[in-house]
Structure 1
């Protein structure tokens, strides 16, 4: 029997629908939505509910200069000489297994080559041009390998793109979404049938138990 798909919570979906998520979490939720009809339908429900709530609010008067300020903001977007980062498709940076494609949510982002971080473990930095501070990266872990046991100083979101891992709480496979925080201590172990590739967004730091793991995590930016 297949395990049930793990989904983002309604708090994340609602914040995403309202445009309130930071760039990293927004990319993770958008990646999940690409392959999850259940969450897309849930998003439509949340958006409809939000629209109904707006309709029920009393009318409010805008400041006299509201239109002028709005037009000035639009003009600033098209100011001559303003430089915009060129969209970069990360489809070949780094290489992926046959049959796997990059999430559309990563369009415009740059992914580095795979970097070694331990036997059978590699990582890639994802640069978000409109938010350079976003801490987003890819992990590629070989079959049977595992990350050291750890917890988190803040929130970490993980979306499985390929393969499966079990972290002592549940099995996570392609399309599954994991939301962890300081209350969670776990050790993701990749299953024996093949490697696992995930994309993660980290707020704060990953807090590894061992000194060597903490040092490697610092180098990766985890």
Structure 2
């Protein structure tokens, strides 16, 4: 996917918690969650610095660990894997991202991902399925919701990470704008409402499902595997 110029600094007020940044720094996050956190890091110098500090601490701790025994052929095995031809079953070249409004930046963290065209979800609401090349099973998607529109009230059977790319919404807990990050789980019951003046575009990864209130909303959610 074609990269775009870097945006001006954003007024970011909502960030990943330190434990989530630590999981990202240590490689403990799933691929979908990692992509959303990485998207936030692209926009947030404060969290970039925090991750760098966490990695430095981790490197110091590793230096203090005793050396681990390795197989005699470890180096040869690594070199063989580097020289081996690409897996024919690996995902092909990524599809271009769906069109974004002027001022919206396609995340570099998703540059190798494939994304579908915008699909109808409801009046004033569209979505796009994002497929990560290293984890096609990850539940990652884009939401594009018009001003004044809203998702049905819902909670979560697992964890949902959301990164705002463009626009603003309020979910009853706080106002989220460009660059802001949100984590919601089964303890959160909310209804994101897009603020007047502009549509809102977010990238989200879900470990589990969104549990919508009402039969019709649950039926729509099942159609798009949310």
How high is the TM-score relative to the length of structure 1?
0.91
Q: Does 1:141 align with 2:145?
A: yes
Q: Does 1:22 align with 2:15?
A: no
Q: Does 1:79 align with 2:85?
A: yes
Q: Please give the per-residue CA displacement for 1:130-152, whole angstroms capped at 9, x wherever unaligned.
A: 21101100001111111111000
Q: CA deviation at 1:4?
A: 5.8
Q: Does 1:10 align with 2:18?
A: yes
Secondary structure of the equivalent of 1:178? strand
Q: Give the equivalent residue in structure 1 for 2:220.
A: 216
Secondary structure of the equivalent of 1:160? strand
Distance 1:187 1:45 in 2: 35
Secondary structure of the equivalent of 1:217? helix
User: In 2, are the aligned partners of 1:159 and 1:178 still within 8 Å (CA)?
Assistant: yes
Q: Give the equivalent residue in structure 1 for 2:70.
A: 62
Structure 1 runs of 4+ off > 6 angstroms? Answer: none
Q: Does 1:170 align with 2:174?
A: yes
Q: Does 1:187 align with 2:191?
A: yes
Q: CA deviation at 1:94?
A: 1.5
Distance 1:4 1:101 in 2: 15
CA RMSD after TM alignment: 1.9
User: In 2, are the aligned partners of 1:30 and 1:105 still within 8 Å (CA)?
Assistant: yes
Q: Does 1:106 align with 2:110?
A: yes
Distance 1:10 1:81 in 2: 36
Q: CA deviation at 1:56?
A: 1.2
Structure 1 117/53 Cα, relative in aligned 2: closer, same or farther at 3 Å? same
Distance 2:67 2:25 in 1: 23
Q: CA deviation at 1:192?
A: 1.1
Q: Give the equivalent residue in structure 2 for 1:52.
A: 60
Q: Which runs of 5+ in 2 are unaligned?
A: 1-9
Equivalent of 2:100, from 90, 96, 101?
A: 96
Distance 1:61 1:109 in 2: 37
Q: Does 1:31 align with 2:17?
A: no
Distance 1:135 1:217 in 2: 13
Distance 2:110 2:116 in 1: 13
Q: Give the equivalent residue in structure 2 for 1:161.
A: 165
How high is the TM-score relative to the length of structure 2?
0.89
Deviates more, 1:134-143 or 1:2-11: 2-11
Q: Give the equivalent residue in structure 2 for 1:205.
A: 209
Q: Please give the per-residue CA displacement for 1:154-209, whole angstroms capped at 9, x wherever unaligned.
A: 00000000000011111100000001111111111111121111000011110001
Structure 1 3/30 Cα, relative in aligned 2: closer, same or farther at 3 Å? closer
Q: How does 1:123-134 map to 2 (within 5 A)?
A: 123-134=127-138
